[in-house]
Structure 1
Amino acid sequence: MTILQTLKYNDLFSVVSQKPFLFIGTIIENIDLTGNAEQNKLKDTLVQSKVAEYLEHFSEKEHTKVGNDGATLSGGEKQKIAIARALLKNAPIVILDEATTGFDTESRTYLHEMITSQMKEKTVLLITHHYEELDGFDKIYRLENGYLFPVK
């Protein structure tokens, strides 16, 4: 596989892991990795991901430094940055691996509603221990002892 093929392949996926990696930099730099996003799209993404809600607590708003691996942020705030990054990328395949770790019930419910309503045209792989998050998905599989079993 050539470097160009690898780059095109990587464009297909957005991944939000249980423990997202954050770069030393600002909140906005950790969301807009290319630095080329349109301002209105960026603002929409901040609202959709609920990052906008906690920016008010920081004096420098989206230009707040996150520290080494997001040391200045809570677990839920880091997760919301990772979700914002995935939303902004707008890839056709979204992998959410325990993406609601650190979320309160309200945030978990909001994310579920956003995924099931706004990502209908995408392939979403949701990995979770919270069975209530699976409601509304077309196909559900359970992983047990290294095997996948269809549930729905």
Structure 2
Amino acid sequence: MLKKLFFSPIKNHIVVNDRWGKGVTGKHGGFLTYSDHYDPGHIVERKWENCMTLDKNAWGYRRDMKASDVYTVYELVTQLIRTISCNGNLLLNVGPDKYGRIDPIFVDRLTEFGKFINFFEEAIFGTKPWIHQSDSAMIW
């Protein structure tokens, strides 16, 4: 019975995450999703997703947010590298205000992060994790 629930004639042509029920994260879907800001520190055999926000404290817009509440470009790059090295994809959320505007600090972070990604795209896109994820505390 359970097998019939998960059968789909198009299952090999779509991507589905596993954030759809209690106690099922990290078990089903085209890629695995765990807790927010998930960082296993080791290779995960199946593709997985690191869901995080630019704001360290919220997924949505906060009027009282301070600059210190926003990840630095260095912290974002570090998380991207750790995620890629462990066979993951990075989902980075930005919370707009009630008018749909993006806070200038978010624009700045995304612009600088984008410059890093564009410069090092050959080392990011289409790569595969090596057999070791960490050679030291700062080398991933």
Q: TM-score, normalised by structure 2?
A: 0.30
Computing the radius of gyration from Cα coordinates, the structure with the larger value is 2
Which protein has the bigger strand share? Answer: 1
Which has the higher relative contact order, 1 or 2, with Cα contacts under 8 A spaced 6 or more apart? 1
More helix per residue: 1 or 2?
1
